[in-house]
Structure 1
Amino acid sequence: MKVALVVNSSSGSLLGKPDAAAELEAKLRGAGLEVVAVLDGDASDLVSRMAQARDLSVDAIVTAGGDGTIATAAEALLGSDKALAPLPLGTMNLLAKDLGIPVDLDAAIAVFADAETTEIDVGDVNGHKFLCNSMLGVPARLAERRERNRLHMGVVGWWRHVIAGLKSMYRYPAMRIGLDLGDGPVTIRSKAVVVADNAYDEGFGHVLTRSRLDRGELTLYATRRLSAWPLVRLSIRMALGRWTDDVDLETHHVKELTVTSRRRLLRVMNDGETRLIAPPLKYRILPKALKVLRPKSAAPAPELESAA
């Protein structure tokens, strides 16, 4: 298989590793993959390097970075015949985990040497793509704080980040937004709104994981209250895998939705990357719009149709 390697050296796992691109290239070649080009750099020119890789004569684009890097690759690869092969080198690696790609780097590379191609859905908000989720409110603010301090986090820094997050749950004022799910706008107040590219699974140990990435739907999760007891109860239920029907969590499955606000700009976190976007926020799902590589054994079993 012919591949191009695109490295985002500013991703979490690659910070401070100047020889990362050469090491990754050697590992890919050692697994039997033909590396046509290595495009190394930081996030500043990532978009142009992804476009350059797309135009090469290759079968797949191997991305070395986190979920934000992968989302950038998805924007470049939409409508092309190139498959995306995400290496788990970010902080969360949510898409790689959902695809069944091992978090161990050598194991992940071995997967790509004998992988299958499948098609997954892509989320879109005002032209910006996401493959995992898009968040508003407290999660977006915490992500911005994490990015500002990432180079100096360390163990103590991460604990401070966690504590700051818990404080924000109580101190951050609820957003007042308009929400249109197709039946006309309604006003809600919430501290955290998540639009997921397909629904999250339930079950013990399944926290923010998705077994299906091609249902062709967005799932909206919005908190109603975040005072002490509802937050504790929701956290416990998430750990136990029974959280999506919590009384303080509003859930909707839609093809598209619109978020309005009196604010001039809303802070949005798409797959871990924050940006300011002018409302209204128009969300939609692009069914099976992206080709990806995944382990052959990780292909989901077909869903049974319900009896009429």
Structure 2
Amino acid sequence: MTPRRYHLFLNTQSGTVQAAGITEKMLYDAFVARGLDVVIEKNPEAGFAERVESALASDTEVVVAAGGDGTVTGLGAAMHESGKAMAILPLGTANLLARDLSIPLDINEWLDALPTMTEHHIDVCTVNGEPFLHKVVIGLIPDLAAGRERIRGGGFRALLGFLSYFVRRVARARRFALEITTSKGETRIERVQALAVASNAYDEAPGHFFSRERLNAGFLTLYVLRHLTLGKMIKLAAGMLIGNWKQDEELEIEAVQAVSIRSKKPRLQVMIDGEVESIATPLNFAIRPRSLTVLAPPAPDEPRATFNELQAGEV
């Protein structure tokens, strides 16, 4: 195997990176100590878009996304169909895509495994043309996430304040109407408290909490929650931990290849791969199969499920 050349893209603003005292030079030295060919950015203080452009213009084969899920999604969105591969050095809190791909979470283990990682071609989804890698959530969850961001770094008193806000917000939650049109041409009105559109499908197995084994099956999954009280949220979370959450009576699951979601509101607050933002309606979702190349540990070859099989109840 010809040695790869890596471009290190470190998110120095990541809370985890700052808390651990990780620097670009530390990572560069760790690469070099293992005989890995790596380059670092000429202008690490530049804006995100400028840094991405520089990484894509470099003569390296692999761009290393060193940061959390926001860094991975932002870089992956720019890199899909670029001809370069992305390596994920997980330096965030959740590290969702890294966990899905069984990528080591320890820096030293990751560096040791990097030369033997192979190319995986995964799906990239879009909402109104904006790429995402995990899911987009509408309704109650983005409101709770926005509240969480307001208390980040605020200490124990801020955490208690958020917990009080969380309970009050869930208790006051009301359903709202959305018009949903799927790729099958069917249109329906749903009154929901939360709705998510995910890349591929989340697994149902003990201990699998928002994890996906298949990232390149080429479909979207629509999760509709009509009622979401505090007790039902706890029940759903417990179901995810023990592996029977898809049987929840309040949850409807549907595999689609595209979906459009309309609201009376001109804009909706949504959470895209963990980041809360406002998007104009309607929300039009699509998928670009296997359009992003990611390095990860080798995985055994498995038959790829078809969309028709998933429609038959295997989501």
- Judge same fold: TM > 0.5, yes or no: yes
Amino acid at match of 1:69: T
- 5 Å-filtered alignment, 1:263-274, equals 263-274=265-276
> Given that residues 267 and 275 in structure 1 are in contact (C-alpha distance below 8 angstroms), is that contact kept between their aligned partners in structure 2?
yes
How far 1:160 moved relative to its partner?
4.6
What corresponds to 1:211 in structure 2?
Answer: 213
Please report how far the alpha carbon of residue 62 of structure 1 lies from its aligned counterpart in structure 2 after TM superposition: 0.4
Match of 1:84 in 2: 86
**SS, match of residue 235 in structure 1:** helix
Shift of 1:229: 4.4
User: How big is the shift at 1:190?
Assistant: 1.6
**The one of 260, 280, 283 aligned to 1:281:** 283
State the identity as a percent: 34
Once the two structures are TM-superposed, the CA of residue 39 in structure 1 deviates from its matched residue by 6.1
CA distance in 2, matches of 1:220, 1:80: 28
Are 1:12 and 2:15 counterparts? yes
Of 265-274 and 282-291, the range deviating more from structure 2? 265-274
* Residues 1:169 and 1:80: Cα distance change in structure 2 (over 3 Å): same
Query: Cα 1:111–1:159, aligned 2, differ >3 Å: closer, same or farther?
Result: farther
Task: Note if 1:21 corresponds to 2:16.
Answer: no
Find the aligned partners of 2:294 and 2:143 in 1 and give their Cα distance.
Answer: 30
Q: 1:112-151 to 2 correspondence within 5 Å?
A: 112-151=114-153
Counterpart amino acid of residue 89 in structure 2: L
Give me the whole-angstrom Cα distance separating, in 2, the residues matched to 1:84 and 1:157: 37
1:253 to 2:255 alignment: yes
Q: CA deviation at 1:32?
A: 2.8
Distance 2:265 2:17 in 1: 36
Q: Which residue of structure 2 aligns with residue 69 of structure 1? A: 71
Q: 3-state DSSP class of the match of 2:47?
A: helix
Q: Which runs of 5+ in 2 are unaligned?
A: 310-315
Kept in 1: contact 2:14–2:67 (CA 8 A): yes
Match of 2:313 in 1: none
Q: Is the 8 A contact 2:217 2:305 kept in 1?
A: no
Aligned length: 303
Of residues 105-114 and 270-279 in structure 1, the stretch that sits farther from structure 2 once superposed is 105-114
User: What is the alpha-carbon distance in structure 2 between the residues aligned to residue 244 and residue 37 of structure 1?
Assistant: 45
Aligned partner of 2:96 among 79, 84, 94: 94
Quick one: distance in 1 between partners of 2:21 and 2:287?
37
Deviation at 1:156, TM superposition (A): 5.4
Structure 2 counterparts to residues 50-61 of structure 1, below 5 A: 50-61=52-63
CA distance in 2, matches of 1:211, 1:131: 14
Compute the displacement of 1:215 (Å). Answer: 0.4
1:170 aligned residue: 171
Is the alpha carbon distance of 1:242 and 1:163 closer, same or farther for their aligned partners in structure 2, counting shifts above 3 Å? Answer: farther
* CA distance 1:12–1:114, change in 2 (3 Å): same
- 1:41-56 aligned at under 5 Å gives the runs 41=44, 45-56=47-58
- The aligned counterpart of 1:233 is 235
| Native 8 Å contact 2:217 2:304 kept in 1 | no
For the residues of structure 1 that align with 2:129 and 2:288, how far apart are their CA atoms?
A: 11
Task: Give the deviation of 1:225 after TM superposition.
Answer: 0.9
User: In 2, distance between residues paired with 1:220 and 1:241?
Assistant: 19
Q: CA deviation at 1:168?
A: 2.5
Q: CA deviation at 1:238?
A: 1.7
Cα deviation for residue 202 of structure 1 reads: 0.7
TM-superposed deviation, 1:204: 0.5
Q: Paired residue for 1:292?
A: 294
**Closer/same/farther in 2, CA of residues 64 and 234 from structure 1, 3 Å limit:** same
1:3 is matched with: 6
Deviations 1:57-78 (A, max 9, x none): 1111101111111111112112
Unaligned stretches of 5+ residues in structure 1 = none
- Seen in structure 2, the aligned counterparts of structure 1 residues 166 and 178 have a Cα distance that, compared at 3 Å, is same
CA distance in 2, matches of 1:244, 1:128: 28
Output the amino acid matched with 1:74: G
CA distance in 2, matches of 1:235, 1:145: 20
Residues 292 and 189 of structure 1, relative CA distance in 2, 3 Å threshold: same
8 Å CA contact 2:28–2:40 kept in 1: the answer is no
3-state SS of paired residue (2:53): helix
C-alpha deviation, 1:158, in angstroms: 4.5
Displacement of 1:192: 1.6
Paired amino acid for 1:68: G
Question: 1:32 aligns to what SS in structure 2?
Answer: coil
Query: What letter is aligned with 1:9?
Result: T
